[in-house]
Structure 1
Amino acid sequence: MKTKTLEKVKTIKTLNNIAESGLNVFKDNYILDNDSENPDAILVRSFNMHTIEFGNNLKAIARAGAGVNNIPVDKCTEQGITVFNTPGANANAVKELVLTTLMASSRNLFAGVAWAKTLEGEGEQISKLVEAGKKQFVGKEIKGKTLGIIGLGAIGALVANDALDLDMDVIAFDPFISVDTAWNLSRNVQRAMTIEELFANSDYITVHVPFTSETGGMFNEKTFSIMKTGVHILNFSRGELVNEKDMAEALESGRVGKYITDFPNENVLKMKNVVPIPHLGASTQESEENCAIMAARQVKEFLETGNIRNSVNFPNASLPYTGKRRVAAFHKNVPNMVGQITSAVSSFDLNIADMVNRSRGEYAYTMIDIENDVNGEIIPSVEEKINQIEGIVTTRII
């Protein structure tokens, strides 16, 4: 159990190069110190944090990107450290690459360009060789073909809408689609009631779901057998979604026409008709800046107000900040916890002006605004009183 009181000056540490536009979010009362052993918050991209020991002052980790596999989320939760990510900040960058490779691979552009480069040194014969050899790269137009989209988050929804503008038919499967996505999604996107329906009717399939125990290996011998012969599969989500042995066999037999993946490895590079992309999905200047700014703003808001947006381990919670003293407690999601916290606050003759409580699985987060002008001398006593409650993980008074 730790108390994390917000100090006036806060220390931010980065473990990767973070875009300057993001770091500029931290101005007054912030110090950027990459040598700090006990910062208030850490900003990270791909750095592996699983072997890092966290100081008792660390309140937040923000991943400038969507995936958090490089962060020990469970450990952070147990220690009361909020982990943020930046969903949607890189969505346009990934969408553009999905559509680019969709068209380029369908037209055999990558293979054609590679072949053309082998003609160097042929001099005046190049034109004749090009005319004679181009027939081996005859491709297909995507217009009128069916694109299946698995996952209608920020990226999948953008891909769906733009694919429709390219005169493709779009069918999508996402049993957990959000209301916000539904509002932004074209009504011309067809809904697949099952993922098998999507597999059976798609000429191209692009996947935009996280890697979990349920999604791991979802592309395998069984699912390939449902698909149209020659289907193109695009994977800009996680390499682990694909059973590589089964994919290699499906490509060799022609069951799968092409596999476009942003996650090359030794096995993938040996496959026939694979288009390996060197993890470029979010690699644009704009995307890196968007992710850095979003991560920094979320951390800054959390440190200064306790409000939480886009956390992967804490419940999202927001309460308008009026400048009053605020209690922010992270605790086990058990009966009567809120009552015990409010009783602890009231025991100091403090009135509650406003409060919010949100839960996420086994844990919950409570913020309480105090009406009174609180004497700073009693803050440690209030914290100590709350921390004596069984089930409290961390407490801050802002």
Structure 2
Amino acid sequence: MKILISEVIWQEGLDVLERQGYEIEYDDQLVQDRPKLLAKVKEVDALIIRNLTQVDEELLQAGSKLKVIGRLGVGLDNIEVEAAKKKGIQVVYAKNANATSVAEYVMSAVLSSNRSLDDANEDVRKGRWDRKMHTGGEVYGKTLGLVGLGEIAHRVAKRAHAFGMDVVGFDPFITEYDHVVAETGVKTKSSLDEVLAMSDFISVHVPLTPSTVSLIDSEAFQVMKSKAYVINTSRGGIVNESDLEKAISKGRIAGAYLDVFEVEPLDKDHPLLSHSNVVITPHIAGLTEESQVRTSVLVAKEVTKVLNGLPSLCVV
């Protein structure tokens, strides 16, 4: 059997596949050459991708031999999952493999927004010693609002509680007996607006779907505290970028930490880049060495299970 990998995978994942004796074609630049990708996918039994490879009807049609698609990550907005299922192609993903990395990114944003050591360091190196300017504040006693209460939110909440924060959340698919509520202690609210209104930090943890596009929009910003920070590590498009820019410009909220955007990479003239209280990173929340080893190994193992006719716990 033959496996095609069109984006970056860590060596540990390749080792898993090679030990199984599969024929592997690995080209992490293949995603940039759509005609070549469509030609090569015709001859393979499995395709392993990240978030850039568009698995649409055209690709699924070309991959007539495909049995499984492995997604090196958790987002599925670049895969037409239902269309794949209709063709008998299983889709497996890196279930929870990068959850800890994302949770740590969120807490880094929370801590940095209240007390930026980088800003203080830069100021000192310029010859200043302004202790009042860099006094900052504590996160202890502040409220963190979680939009979506899945595995990542659960891990964020555990860390936030360790810092003495109050954690509230909204998720219409979570009950009072789910572990994130019953065991982790997140206080669920009956509406998104209720969470937005009481939170000092708002962290987004929902997938990009038709119902979550522009979930955080101009109306949402009107509800928030003027000192609130928005943190988005989920997907671009969930936070309306135009509405956010207007809210920032008007001082409606204190700032934002954004790791994802509607169009990536970010255009150098994007209006949000002009705001010093908007911290922007290049889609790295889930990217740590540890998480990428876990992601690569997990997806490789689950792909081989499917190819060997075994059940996978990571099937979408």
Q: Same fold, TM exceeding 0.5?
A: yes
Q: How does 1:344-363 map to 2 (within 5 A)?
A: none
Q: Is the CA contact (8 Å cut-off) linking 1:38 and 1:54 kept in structure 2?
A: no
Give the whole-Å Cα distance in 1 for the aligned partners of 2:214 and 2:275. 17
TM-score (normalised: structure 2) = 0.84
Match status 1:285 vs 2:282:
no
Give the AA of the match of 2:68.
A
Superposition CA RMSD, Å: 2.4
1:160 corresponds in structure 2 to 157
Give the whole-Å Cα distance in 2 for the aligned partners of 1:158 and 1:69. 23
Give the whole-Å Cα distance in 2 for the aligned partners of 1:113 and 1:240. 34
1:303 corresponds in structure 2 to 307
Q: Is the CA contact (8 Å cut-off) linking 1:152 and 1:208 kept in structure 2?
A: yes
Give the AA of the match of 1:301.
K
Give the AA of the match of 2:111.
M
Give the AA of the match of 2:51.
S
The verdict on how the C-alpha distance between 1:23 and 1:238 changes in structure 2, with shifts beyond 3 A counting, is: same
Listed as ranges, the gaps of 5+ residues in structure 2 are 27-39
| SS state at 2:202 partner | strand
More strand per residue: 1
Structure 2 residue corresponding to 1:261, chosen from 250, 253, 258: 258
Give the AA of the match of 1:135.
K
1:395 corresponds in structure 2 to none
TM-score (normalised: structure 1) = 0.68
1:368 corresponds in structure 2 to none
Give the whole-Å Cα distance in 1 for the aligned partners of 2:149 and 2:41. 40
Q: Is the CA contact (8 Å cut-off) linking 2:98 and 2:286 kept in structure 1?
A: yes
Give the whole-Å Cα distance in 2 for the aligned partners of 1:214 and 1:197. 19
Q: Is the CA contact (8 Å cut-off) linking 1:152 and 1:181 kept in structure 2?
A: no
Structure 2 residue corresponding to 1:148, chosen from 142, 145, 150: 145
Q: Is the CA contact (8 Å cut-off) linking 2:41 and 2:47 kept in structure 1?
A: no
* 1:233, distance to aligned residue in structure 2 (A): 0.9
* 1:115, distance to aligned residue in structure 2 (A): 4.5
The superposition leaves residues 338-383 of structure 1 with CA deviations (integer Å, 9 ceiling, x where unpaired) of: xxxxxxxxxxxxxxxxxxxxxxxxxxxxxxxxxxxxxxxxxxxxxx
Give the AA of the match of 1:32.
I
Q: How does 1:131-210 map to 2 (within 5 A)?
A: 131-132=129-130, 134-177=131-174, 182=179, 186-210=183-207
Give the number of aligned pairs.
292
Give the AA of the match of 2:288.
T
1:22 corresponds in structure 2 to 13
Q: Is the CA contact (8 Å cut-off) linking 2:148 and 2:169 kept in structure 1?
A: yes
* 1:56, distance to aligned residue in structure 2 (A): 1.9
The verdict on how the C-alpha distance between 1:308 and 1:187 changes in structure 2, with shifts beyond 3 A counting, is: closer
Q: How does 1:238-249 map to 2 (within 5 A)?
A: 238-249=235-246
Give the whole-Å Cα distance in 1 for the aligned partners of 2:241 and 2:255. 13
Give the whole-Å Cα distance in 2 for the aligned partners of 1:305 and 1:93. 32
* Structure number with larger C-alpha Rg: 1
Give the whole-Å Cα distance in 1 for the aligned partners of 2:273 and 2:140. 29
1:331 corresponds in structure 2 to none
1:103 corresponds in structure 2 to 111
The verdict on how the C-alpha distance between 1:84 and 1:268 changes in structure 2, with shifts beyond 3 A counting, is: farther
Identity of aligned residues (%): 32
